[in-house]
């Protein structure tokens, strides 16, 4: 690195993941910025790891910060940002290997678009982990982002950059309400509410190294995506027609629930089977472009296995949103009841 002012601070939060971190850092250190045209630093934030993660980072010669206890990505990223010297903060997850030239690309995008406060990319179409579930999960993410609106309504912290001045202006990542789940989405909502633009750069990509199981997919989708995201939507009254919230996906969720409802009626009315099948076919029609993408990338057999996983995704997404809505309604009723009781208590 030169002694010139640092343009980019690459911040990598990590928790108990030395192997992926090693590969992530190898990519960052190997590719960097050709010719030293852009000065940058790499800051690893160890989020209270209990294994050799921190030592892996130290041995690779990058700056290392450490949280005493596991506090979540919000706290880890904020700690890195407080110690960063760059005027651009580039957040990269430890299980992502960004493509060559990513740092240069981020700088170029923000320099060419002075009205843009943040930019993020996507996973590429070559996820590392084998197996149907891991391949499906990562390819789905790639497809959704590659077909999203470039004028984005949210942010993504696994491979996303933001101007430091704006990051500090909106008070960084939320460490209280969203310390571990959708903290990047919540940041994006605040950016947009503050009048800032966010750009989805589809050429800014990285390879995802994570291995998924059915249990981890469902758990993540329900407790780290659908439930907190539904609460955020209800709190902010904002549900943009973009990425995972597109109208077609909402319709697919409703149709999948109808298909299950009719299937449960089938023992009592045989015609319900036809209605259930019709609802499933409608979901397939609505998602035909995604399934065609699966066929092109992994073939018909993979797609035949991926479709039931995708239907399951719609199946638990809808009830989770309903649960969150009922939760908010119940809190509102309780607050109103408490207010009435308090009013009666102080009334002379």
The pLDDT score that the predictor gives to residue 115 is 96
The CATH fold assigned to 8-211 is Spore Coat Polysaccharide Biosynthesis Protein SpsA; Chain A (3.90.550)
Which residue pairs, CB below 8 angstroms and at least 24 apart, start in 104-112?
104/33, 104/34, 104/37, 104/38, 105/201, 105/203, 105/204, 106/8, 106/161, 106/204, 107/7, 107/8, 107/38, 109/199, 109/201, 109/204, 110/161, 110/163
Comparing CA positions, the residue from 208, 205, 204, 206 lying closest to residue 128 is 208
Angle subtended by helix axes 183-193 and 73-83, to nearest 10: 60
The pLDDT score that the predictor gives to residue 18 is 97
- Where are the domains positioned within the chain? 8-211, 245-346
- Residue 242 has which token pair? 């973009």
Tell me: the pLDDT tens digits for 261-312?
Answer: 999 999 999 999 999 999 999 999 999 999 999 999 999 999 999 999 999 9
CA separation for the pair 138, 135 (Å, rounded): 5
C-alpha dihedral over 88, 168, 189, 109, to 10 degrees? -20
pTM of the model: 0.89
The dihedral sign for the CA sequence 96, 11, 5, 63 = negative
Which helix (DSSP H) or strand (DSSP E) does residue 341 occupy?
A: helix 300-346
Which segments of the chain have a pLDDT < 70?
Answer: 1-4, 32-36, 239-245, 328, 335, 339, 342-348
The pLDDT score that the predictor gives to residue 333 is 81
Q: Give φ, ψ of 199 to 5 degrees.
A: -110, 130
- Residues sharing a CB contact under 8 Å with residue 283, sequence separation 6 or more, in sequence order: 252, 255, 256, 259, 311, 314
CB 231 within 8 A of CB 324: yes
């Amino acid at each position: 690195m030169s002694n010139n002012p640092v343009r980019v601070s690459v911040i990598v939060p990590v928790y108990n993941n030395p192997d992926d971190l090693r590969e992530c850092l190898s990519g960052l250190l190997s590719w960097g910025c050709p010719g030293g045209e852009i000065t940058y630093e790499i800051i690893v934030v160890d989020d209270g790891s209990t294994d050799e993660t921190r030592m892996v980072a130290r041995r690779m010669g990058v700056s290392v910060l450490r949280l005493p206890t596991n506090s979540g990505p919000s706290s880890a990223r904020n700690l890195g940002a407080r110690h960063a010297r760059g005027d651009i903060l580039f957040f990269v997850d430890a299980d992502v290997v960004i493509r060559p030239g990513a740092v240069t690309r981020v700088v170029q995008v923000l320099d060419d678009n002075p009205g843009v406060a943040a930019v993020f990319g996507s996973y590429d179409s070559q996820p590392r982990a084998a197996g149907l579930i891991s391949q499906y999960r990562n390819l789905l993410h790639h497809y959704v982002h590659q077909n999203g609106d470039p004028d984005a309504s949210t942010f993504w912290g696994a491979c996303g950059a933001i101007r430091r001045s704006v990051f500090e202006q909106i008070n960084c990542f939320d460490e209280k309400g969203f310390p571990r789940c959708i903290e990047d989405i919540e940041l994006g909502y605040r950016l947009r509410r503050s009048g800032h633009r966010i750009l989805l750069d589809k050429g800014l990509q990285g390879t995802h190294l994570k291995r998924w199981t059915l249990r981890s997919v469902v758990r993540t989708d329900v407790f780290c995506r659908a439930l907190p995201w539904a609460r955020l939507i209800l709190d902010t009254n904002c549900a943009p027609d973009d990425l995972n919230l597109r109208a077609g996906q909402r319709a697919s969720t409703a149709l999948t629930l109808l298909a299950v409802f009719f299937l449960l009626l089938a023992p009592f009315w045989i015609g319900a089977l036809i209605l259930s099948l019709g609802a499933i076919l409608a979901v397939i029609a609505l998602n035909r472009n995604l399934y065609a993408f699966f066929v092109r990338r992994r073939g018909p057999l993979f797609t035949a296995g991926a479709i039931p996983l995708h239907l399951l995704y719609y199946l638990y997404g809808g009830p989770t949103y309903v649960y969150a809505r009922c939760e908010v309604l119940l809190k509102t009723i309780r607050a109103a009841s408490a207010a009435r009781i308090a009013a009666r208590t102080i009334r002379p």
